[in-house]
Chains A and B, each alone.
Chain A
Amino acid sequence: MRAVDAIMECLKAEGVEHVFGIPGGANLPTYDALYDAGVRHVQCRHEQGAGHAAEGYAKASGRVGVALATSGPGATNLVTAIADAVMDSVPTVFLTGQVRTDLIGTDGFQEADISGITMPIVKHSILIQDPRDIPKAVHEAFHIARSGRPGPVLVDVPQDLSRADITYEPVMGVHLPGYQPTTEGNAKQIRLAAKAMANSRRPVIYGGGGLINADAAREFTELCVSDKLPVTCTLMGLGAFPADHDQWLGMPGMHGTRTANYAMDEADLIVAIGARFDDRVTGKLSEFAPRAKFIHIDIDPAEISKNVPAHIPIVGDAKNILPRLTAEYRAVSADSSRLEGWWQRINGWQDKHPLRYDDSEDSEIKPQYMVEAMFEATEGRAVVSSDVGQHQMWCAQYYGFTEPRNWINSGGLGTMGFGLPSAMGAKVARPDDDVVCLAGDGSLIMNIQELATCVTENIPVKIFLMNNGYLGMVRQWQELFWDRRYSAVEMGASPDWVKLAEAFGAKGVLVQDKSELVDSFKSALAEDGPVLVDVRVTKEENCYPMIPAGQAARDMVG
């Protein structure tokens, strides 16, 4: 069997149903094998799009996303998606073609040392040197991508080796002595954590994207409601706990709620689960949660005590640890009344500082209202894939996610251009759900070519464009911190989005009147194909509240 046919067998053995990519010289053999392999290939228009689509697919479904690219420029176009996947721990496998082995190192046509280029941004990478290793390498790639702390794995296959005739035998299990993630949390530490929680008078449970990756939202919610524990989740963790629950404090961090930030600031115990104390959450690190002790539960030991010292570290899988922690916590029968004073304080902040904005009295569409209208039109149940910028923060604030895997965005790397291809991947993974791409005008243009993929491959994503004519977040910073010197943030009058959508073969709609917004969204959702709704919002609205860069939580403004 050709090595590329063996690759297809491996993909199927791994349960892969969909892959995203673009063919080229060095992966011609792979595409020949793909032709009748029975795996659906989504032919993207740019490899970056294919990479983000694989991410969106993985984030929406929990399955490993797969993207294919040829050597050289095809592979280098994947780089941003790979970096994005490592930052947000997205289980992905990138299969790249490489030039023939006799050309490697000679500056051959379309040659790039992609395993060298991506070395700092992959979880692991494998450059195939012997075609007989290919099946094992593919299975190792999937195993590494999805287990432990998930991440991107690159498999680089030289073109000549991919054509080699090999004997294929199904691979049973992988053996990696240097890769043994700890999944089972230490029982003693879990007991200690339960006691610390029971003794704490001002606890905050702080969940992150690790909960989503571990499929542990239910277990997380159970722990939180086993007592009246205040809960906050990071941008990546939204949906792990229902935002309409009365124990929900909102998101913490730079554009989080005052309540969540003040609660972290005054907490005596912070229980971090699958969260990594990112600088966007902590603000000025030396003044972050100065009174708190930290319980840190994470599958990656390198996260423990990286930014804040963990007093009780527990390394392992949240899905394994949380039910045990809940049981231990119940067993100590903590006195719930100890939290009454804390909740009074929290409710005080909630009453005094709810998320709010000044809505327009006329037809003007405020961006925050646009998110609320989106929530209304989708009944809060859509899969929302966001781009990066103000619209992303407003969506995190106002959409109120209640389910995991419905909120897909680029958190760690903050990749503009992520939203549309990722929505496309999400829709392929979950064809029965409404998938909305909430984009900014600066972000959407960066990967708009994938609208062609949506049209030709019949992937009906709905693009809700928050169009303010600016690179809004940069403009906000220039306004607030750089004396309103608006340097290179105006987007001008191009493109005409409705015509652009139509040129791609999609439907385009322009909305400028607030009263039409909800209905426009509803009719877009009712359409069979992809729709772009160009929503003209207030041009210079700022995203508040906000912790100014480098300052502490209690210095929130707005």
Chain B
Amino acid sequence: MANVVLFSRQGLLYNDGNRGDTLAVFIPSREQVRRYGDLHNPTTKAVKDSYGTADQTPLWRKEGDTVVVYGLLSEELFERRSGVEVFLPEDFAPVGTSALFYVFGDQWLVHGVRTVGENGVATWGSSKIDAKRAGGMVPALVEAISDRMLEGAVERILVAVHADEDLYDNIRKALEPFKVDVVRFETLAKAVDKLPIYEHRDHGLLMLTTGVFSALIFVLALGYMAWGVFEERRVDAQVVAVQEELKRIQADARLGKIQNPKEVLAIISRPLKQRPSAILHAAGDVATVFGDLQSIEMTSEDPSAGSNNRRRVNNRNPNPAAATAGTVVVDAVVDPGVDRSLLVDQERVALSAMESRPWIRFIEREGDSKKTMSLRIGVQVE
């Protein structure tokens, strides 16, 4: 149920104390009512200017071509955070009503009378009666209705009560002889063609939603910025660490005036990866198949050096077979003793030796002396 308020130029007269949006009934005074026919597109500001008020809010609405200002809004109502709608008493009167009596609590009785002018235009005049001064609400109401009926006009009278149940029942009983219907004020419906003479909505929820949304994006932006700061610090730390590491490396990696270590390393030969004893032993082992080993000579070249301008370590032309990558040539001299086998037999022995020793890539026989036989043995090292 809305909060019902009655007010006039003197301020708030009645407030039922309910929570929620406010439905206010304004009782205008004749001195305050003004009509303006020259405001074609009226706004509150234009009406304010025309009415001559700077601080207070005018209570107005357009009726036909005329803007009617009924008075000024109470400051207390203007400052209410809940929604407020202000209507005139006649806005609640059903069609055909010519007099109305609204009871607000046990003190205020609003009395409205509809009059039709010579031009056929109906106007309402409203007034308030302080029932406490008039001897109580029921006597005051009875007296007012009696006076009205005594005028003799046939009319429809509306009596609406916004008060507690006891007062409502008392009024009903008191008015039974007058055959006037008494209704609760809350049951009255506003005329659909009547706009409030003032209204403001409760924007609390909108403000709260906007505020929460603003706070949310504020927090997000704050988080985004904090993340940026964190990232910047992290990257700064990484940059400093890398710079320090670079400085350390640059300080450590000095060897005289040498600036091109990789170039120098590319030029120089590198040792074989295999142990020489393994190569010598492999070649010696296969050489003993042909006789007593007299001498063994391993000549190594770095297969990875591969530079054509590198000087060879011996003056012999490289054997095409020995040039095979990953092969080391070992020259062996053996004494075959008295057993001077035929070349065919020696070839058979060599093949047999190679079959059982897959790391021997080739065996070549070189010139013989009277006593010895020279062999060139290719040993696979890679």
A and B co-occur in one complex: no
